[in-house]
A and B are shown apart, each in its own frame.
Chain A
Amino acid sequence: MESIVSHEDWQTCFAQLGPALLLFARRWTNSQADAEDVVQEAFVRFWRREHSIKNRGLLYAAVRSAALDRLRREGRRVRREAAASVGSSDHCEPVFTTEDEGQQLLAAAVERLPNEQKEVVVLKIWNELTFAEIADVLEISQNTAASRYRYALNALKKILQPHE
């Protein structure tokens, strides 16, 4: 297994994974700034333990853990705001860069997915984790992860159908 401990290596890794990590962290945070705080805490914690870059599941688990810790620390008010923001992109900064109207519709459709489906899609599509890795990160079974992914894609097709 490859162990990355040097300064350059963490920069390379972060350049590759940073945007997708932020997208994942946005599942539990109310803003891009909060998501960045979560990713910073989790990434630094992960790297200081000098985990292998190939063991990305642990990195995503660290992000999820940091995000949930943050929610617990900030109490009920923040949780309520985060819950209100999840599933509704009206008050959130854009989480995707879009090039045309088709991509804008697709990004909006992703944001409309239920949170539990959206996090599986985020891990699968933009973080390229396997269902086994997703199951580990989210502490669910592989079957559940695969089912949520399938439900999410079905939902996206339905959302997008009138526009196709």
Chain B
Amino acid sequence: MNDFSELEAELTKLRPAPVSDDLARRIERAFAARDETPTAGVLPRPQRRANGWWSFALGLTGVAALLVIGLAFFDQTPVLERAVASAKAIPAQTAGFQPAGLTQVVYSGHDEGLVYPSDDSGAPRRRLRYETRQIVRWQNAQTGASVRVSYPVEQVVLTPVSFQ
């Protein structure tokens, strides 16, 4: 027995004030709303994703792909100038939209060497293959709306070769 046993016994006899009925009802209502809110005014902590590195890796891959495409584009700049200069005719007007522009981007060109076509001339020709992307834009003058269509094009050009 310690010196305080008597005092502790007296303290134990002292009873805390009772809980109001209203508090029990409020708690019951809070539990009833369990499906509506996950916690009592406290939002659940978002779970950390274990595969967070995937997002980083995917982002890095995207940046790398853009860099490769960009470098290929700049390597083909002289070809681009020639190709843009030979842009095709703009398509006709459609449903209030008028052709507003055509852009042709050459992002790859290959010299495939000499070929001998089976036509009457029999003369050798140099075959050049271009991979391009054409972007056609239509615009409605009244509403200001515009439509932009982009599609890939592969061109094969046969150039006559003269031997001198």
Interface of A toward B, CB cutoff 8 Å: 7, 10-11, 14, 18-20, 22-23, 32, 36, 39-41, 43-45, 47-48, 93-98, 102-103, 106-107, 110, 121, 125-126, 150, 153, 156-157, 160
Task: Give the most central of A44, A48, A157: most B CB within 10 Å.
Answer: A44
Interface size on B, residues (CB 8 A): 28
Residues in A neighbouring B23, C-beta threshold 8 A: 18, 36, 39-40
| B16 in contact with A23 (CB, 8 Å) | yes
Inter-chain CA distance A156–B38, complex, in Å, is 44
B18 to chain A, nearest CB (A): 6
Please judge, given known A-B contacts A14-B24, A36-B20, A48-B34, whether A107 and B14 are in contact too, CB under 8 Å: yes
From DSSP, what is the main secondary structure of chain A's interface residues? helix
Inter-chain CA distance A11–B10, complex, in Å, is 28
**CB<8 Å pairs between A and B, sample of 18:** A14-B19, A18-B24, A19-B19, A20-B16, A32-B20, A36-B20, A36-B23, A40-B26, A45-B39, A94-B17, A95-B17, A96-B16, A97-B15, A102-B10, A106-B10, A107-B14, A156-B7, A156-B11
Closest A residue, CB atoms, query B22: A36
Inter-chain CA distance A52–B13, complex, in Å, is 28
- Residues 20-49 of chain B, each 1 if its beta carbon lies under 8 Å from chain A, else 0: 101110111011001000111110000000
Q: How many A-B residue pairs have CB under 8 A?
A: 90
| B18 in contact with A97 (CB, 8 Å) | yes
Residue from B14, B31, B42 in contact with A47 in the complex, judged by beta carbons closer than 8 Å: B31
**B4 interfacial by beta-carbon distance below 8 Å:** yes
Inter-chain CA distance A32–B38, complex, in Å, is 27
Closest A residue, CB atoms, query B42: A45
- Knowing that A22-B16, A96-B15 touch, tell me 14 more A-B residue pairs with CB under 8 angstroms: A10-B27, A10-B31, A14-B24, A18-B18, A18-B19, A32-B17, A44-B31, A96-B14, A97-B17, A106-B11, A121-B11, A125-B11, A150-B4, A153-B8
